[in-house]
Amino acid sequence: MTAHKFLKFWIILSLLILGIVITLNYIIDPYLLYGTKRIEGFNNVKPAAGNVSYQSKIYLAHRLDINALVIGNSRPEMGINPDHAYFKNNHYKLYNLGQRGSSTATQYGYALDILRDKNIKMVMIGVDFIDFITSEENLSHPDQWPPQKSTQDNRRKYKWDGTYNDNYSCQYYKDIYLPLISLSTLQDSLITIFQQNSDASDLLNNGFNPAGDMQKATRTEGVKILFNQKTPQLIRSFTSRKWKIYSSHSLWSPSFNNLQFLLNYLQKNRIETKIFINPYHIQYLEIIEHSGLGPEFTDWKRQLTKMVAAVSKKGDFTLWNFSDPHIYNTEPILNTKKIPLKWFWEPAHYRKELGDLMINRMFSPSLPRDNKNQFGYQLTPENIDRHLADYQKRLKDYQNEYPEEYDFIKAKFLARIKP
Amino acid sequence: MLFNSYEFIFAFLPLTLVGFIFISKVNSEKAIAWLVAASLFFYGWWNPYYLVLIIASMIINYSIGYLINKRTTQTHQTKFLLFLGILFNLSLLGYYKYANFFLETAAYIMSSQYHFQQILLPLAISFFTFQQIAFLVDSYKGITKEYKFMHYALFVTFFPQLIAGPIVHHKEMLPQFIDRKNFKFEVNNITIGLIIFAIGLFKKAVLADGIAVHATPAFSAVEIGQQLDFFQSWGGALSYSLQLYFDFSGYTDMAIGGARLFGIKLPLNFHSPYKALNIIEFWRRWHMTLSRFLRDYIYIALGGNRKGKLRRYANLFTTMLLGGLWHGAGWTFVIWGALHGIYLIINHFWHFILKTFKLTFLEKSKIWRGFCWLLTFTAVVVGWVFFRASDFNSALLLLKGMSGYHGFSLPNGIAVQLGALAQLLSSVGMNVSLGGGKDFAMTYIWIIFLLPVALLWPNTQQIMDKFEPSYNKITDNPATTLLGDSLFMHNIKFTFSYGWIFSMSVLLTLGILALSQVSEFLYFQF
């Protein structure tokens, strides 16, 4: 064979293989970028979609016909199920825009993008303490606007002020078409084909993360191991710096600024809004307390209450608190085996079952809204002091009722300060 | 512009090649000028400011070289010119690469809090400075001459070798630049060049970048003081050793392949270094053109082995120390260089013992050879820990982990799969760490896959042997090469065949698919 013939066939075959790969990546659509049909046993489960959800979820939301949104981080992404009967019965086409590991700037920036493009009637905002704590150096300009630029900003059609983002088209084409000719997409396409089971990680078309991987991890390793694994990470996160929720001189922070901007937009456009404080397992709450952040947690709830009350003219904006100790988040973990807890995967993430109860609570008009014995209640400037006092009492009750469980978390802190 | 980027592969390289083919049909001098212009564009892509520096450096060196060449004998004047040229080059390198390092070290010693403004390191300065010093010395010795600035400019800037070598000698390149035969369009050159380039792209973009994700976490962890156990530490160190291997090997292939497209053959720079059975052999195979420079222009200049054993060892140590510093202005590089200096001294001393006590028969024993390889490879990996670590303390922390000081553990996710075996392992001191173990498993899968490739497979030059891929040819010395006669070595030889069309198509496609995750070559930072 001559060099010329070799070169010719080599180029042709390479192009052919490249074409096959592009087609495969498109058909399998491992990141939900192309809206290709999901086929049971072939590409129905998307184990790799969560890895690039920054990229895929916002474009997916733009493509879909939706009229309601869930906003927040990974907690509502895993907990609030858009297929809940309430939404279906009330003609809400809900999309879960929860973004794992995201800042409030990304969460609310993405949300504004969808709000500006779609006719959204109802919004649920899951607010999270960890997204609001910040270090002193970030509080030098607490009312800085617009927020500091991040790489995710290019994925938004609109800037904060509502004008068109010139970088969007370029980023969109890069995000959508580059994965077709990417080795990591090919790898994830193959993983998609070979991991078609309910144990795999997944991302549904409505943005919900069914947490199949958590199910598997619990079954193979056990609940206690997952708690053991997550607890040191949480302790590290909460104690790595001197965290604050706002600047002491202005009682304000960039995250409050971002939330205020979103709330103002929602109010101006008369969109029904439910803000909810995510539930945490009691171990998570104890970590907050032991990290010395209890007062910040209290101030944060106060500030949220004030903000929501200020924008809520006719009770169309409500703030719900699901973070208090309750039977749902005090499940003991020390004697658990390889069966998941009923309401939590690990200290930081609640299950869909608990999310369903939260939806029932927030949308059911028949239940009293300010009953401290109910799981979740509406926080208002009138009842906040009472609830905050009750929170402390509930923590104490838990410590007395489950001394061994409480010692478990205390031991983690002691282990940290050992030389 | 990176070799592993869309703009290089699909725009710069084809346009430069097409321009070169057409212009060389008209005039070969103009074709050389075209290549110089393209190379300068390639260099200026990162930062056009650098262009001023490289052009000024070329003009000054060319002028000094020209003045030296005009004199037929070595005189005081030529010696002074050479001194001036070397001083200029070292000052340039010293200012841009080492000024901050020395000032910060001085400030540290004097406990000063003064903060120095960072000087932007011009790309490839270490490479083009050394290349030009070699030119001046060779001109002084009468080994080479250059009268055409354009030829000289191409010798310095030729884009395939500009950024990270090979460090070429003027005498290797000039005859190729003036040989009209090289300017003729040859499908053979294009095909061979593209094959070598594609193999290099695959090594870099798929293999080196693939294993890199398993090297970085270990080094990042020790940087923040985290203690890693035995398996995590070795996983990180071995991953980095293989990342660096395939990164540099891939880059060298791409440089050699890229040059071949223009009919130019570059010298070998990388010859399966992990197959070496001793550290002397390792340095004959790793970054060969740098080793050659260090030997010819530092070691020999210091007196080499001409002034007795002790002086020889001191020269070796100094040369390696400077070699370490060449790689980067930092104490970890100095330690790495010093470590290799010590390795080489021990190795030379051991050779002396072998000869004196007539122990050379050992070299025939397979067990002994296996031990030699293990010792050499371990020494190299330990060296890489200093080479990669951000500071001395994190390097020590990782080495402690590698020694087993921080214990032995398996991730829980893997331990639960082992069943009874896990209990057995636990009884011999194996702990269980938290985590699913996916990263742990992937790290060792990559290592198990790549290490045999580095140890058993022929390298690109050996695969392409029939087609004279490089300027020089190296034959393995069986006495110092691990498994130099393995089955793979004999069976993997490139031919123009359908089998190779298929293999190369897969390699090229995977290489192109990996372009979407752009990453720099490790040797670009030197």
Query: B496 vs A220: CB contact, 8 Å cut-off?
Result: no
- B192, B227, B434: best to mutate for the A interface, most A CBs within 10 A: B434
> Any chain A CB within 8 A of the CB of B514?
yes
Cα–Cα distance for residue pair A254/A259, rounded to 1 Å: 9
Q: What pLDDT, on the 0 to 100 scale, is given for residue B488?
A: 78
The SS3 assignment for B360 reads helix
Q: What pLDDT, on the 0 to 100 scale, is given for residue A222?
A: 87
- Which residues, other chains included, contact B471 with Cβ-Cβ below 8 Å and sequence gap of 6+? B172, B265, B266, B267, B268
> Any chain A CB within 8 A of the CB of B414?
no
Neighbour-count burial of A150, counting CB atoms closer than 10 A to its CB (0-12 exposed, 13-18 middle, 19+ buried): middle
Cα–Cα distance for residue pair A375/A362, rounded to 1 Å: 10
A173–chain B nearest CA distance, Å: 13
The first and second tokens of residue B313, run together, are 């060892």
A138–chain B nearest CA distance, Å: 22
Which positions 437-496 of B are in contact with A (Cβ < 8 Å)?
496
Of A130, A125, A80, A73, the C-alpha closest to A102 is: A73
Cα–Cα distance for residue pair B49/B123, rounded to 1 Å: 11
DSSP labels, A110-177: HHHHHHHHS---EEEEEE-HHHH-EEGGGGSSTT-SSPPP-GGGGG-SB-TTS-B-TTHHHHHHHHHH
pLDDT of residue B66 exceeding 70, the answer is yes
Instruction: For residue range B30-61, list pLDDT tens digits in order.
Output: 999 999 999 999 999 888 888 999 999 999 99
Query: A14 vs B508: CB contact, 8 Å cut-off?
Result: yes
> Any chain A CB within 8 A of the CB of B190?
yes
Instruction: For residue range B68-116, list pLDDT tens digits in order.
Output: 888 767 678 888 889 999 999 988 888 888 777 777 777 777 777 666 6
Chain B residues whose beta carbon lies within 8 Å of the beta carbon of residue A338: none
**R_g over Cα of chain A:** 23
The chain-wide mean pLDDT, for chain B, equals 88
Q: Which of A2, A21, A228 sits opposite B509 (nearest CB)?
A: A21
Q: Which residue has the tokens 């050159």?
A: B189
Query: A181 vs B513: CB contact, 8 Å cut-off?
Result: yes
Q: Residue B124 gets which letter from DSSP?
A: T
Q: What pLDDT, on the 0 to 100 scale, is given for residue A418?
A: 47
**Are A255 and A104 in contact, with CB atoms under 8 Å apart?**
yes
Query: B435 vs A229: CB contact, 8 Å cut-off?
Result: yes
pLDDT of residue A367 exceeding 70, the answer is no
The chain-wide mean pLDDT, for chain A, equals 91
- The residue-averaged pLDDT of A238-255 equals 87
Q: What pLDDT, on the 0 to 100 scale, is given for residue B453?
A: 93
Q: What is the ipTM of this complex?
A: 0.86
The first and second tokens of residue B470, run together, are 């490089």
Cα–Cα distance for residue pair B175/B289, rounded to 1 Å: 19
SS3 for A367-414 is CCCCCCCCCCEECCCCCHHHHHHHHHHHHHHHHHHCHHHHHHHHHHHH
Q: Which residue has the tokens 């094959």?
A: B195
- A2, A5, A17: best to mutate for the B interface, most B CBs within 10 A: A17
Catalytic annotation, residues of B: 327
- The residue-averaged pLDDT of B397-418 equals 88
Q: What pLDDT, on the 0 to 100 scale, is given for residue B401?
A: 95
> Any chain A CB within 8 A of the CB of B499?
no
Q: What pLDDT, on the 0 to 100 scale, is given for residue B123?
A: 80
Cα–Cα distance for residue pair B107/B128, rounded to 1 Å: 30
Q: What pLDDT, on the 0 to 100 scale, is given for residue A21?
A: 97
Query: B513 vs A6: CB contact, 8 Å cut-off?
Result: no
Q: What pLDDT, on the 0 to 100 scale, is given for residue B524?
A: 58
pLDDT of residue A211 exceeding 80, the answer is yes
Of B227, B277, B275, the C-alpha closest to B403 is: B227
pLDDT of residue B431 exceeding 50, the answer is yes
**Are B490 and B456 in contact, with CB atoms under 8 Å apart?**
no
Give the rounded percent of residues in chain A with a pLDDT score beyond 70: 97
> Any chain B CB within 8 A of the CB of A18?
yes
Q: Residue B391 gets which letter from DSSP?
A: S
Q: pLDDT band for position A158 (50/70/90)?
A: very high
B502–chain A nearest CA distance, Å: 7
Query: B513 vs A4: CB contact, 8 Å cut-off?
Result: no
Handedness of CA B248, B253, B258, B263 (dihedral sign): positive
pLDDT of residue A29 exceeding 70, the answer is yes
pTM attached to this predicted model: 0.87
10 Å Cβ neighbour count for A253?
23
Q: pLDDT band for position A39 (50/70/90)?
A: very high
> Any chain B CB within 8 A of the CB of A415?
no
pLDDT of residue B526 exceeding 90, the answer is no
pLDDT of residue B225 exceeding 70, the answer is yes
The first and second tokens of residue A145, run together, are 């606007």
Chain A nearest-CA residue for B418: A220
Q: How far is CA B53 from CA B2, B44, B47, B481, in A?
A: 20, 11, 11, 42
Instruction: For residue range A342-353, list pLDDT tens digits in order.
Output: 999 999 999 999
Instruction: For residue range A323-336, list pLDDT tens digits in order.
Output: 999 999 999 998 88
pLDDT of residue B405 exceeding 70, the answer is yes
Which positions 168-197 of A are in contact with B (Cβ < 8 Å)?
178-179, 181-184, 186
- The residue-averaged pLDDT of B320-341 equals 90
**R_g over Cα of chain B:** 24
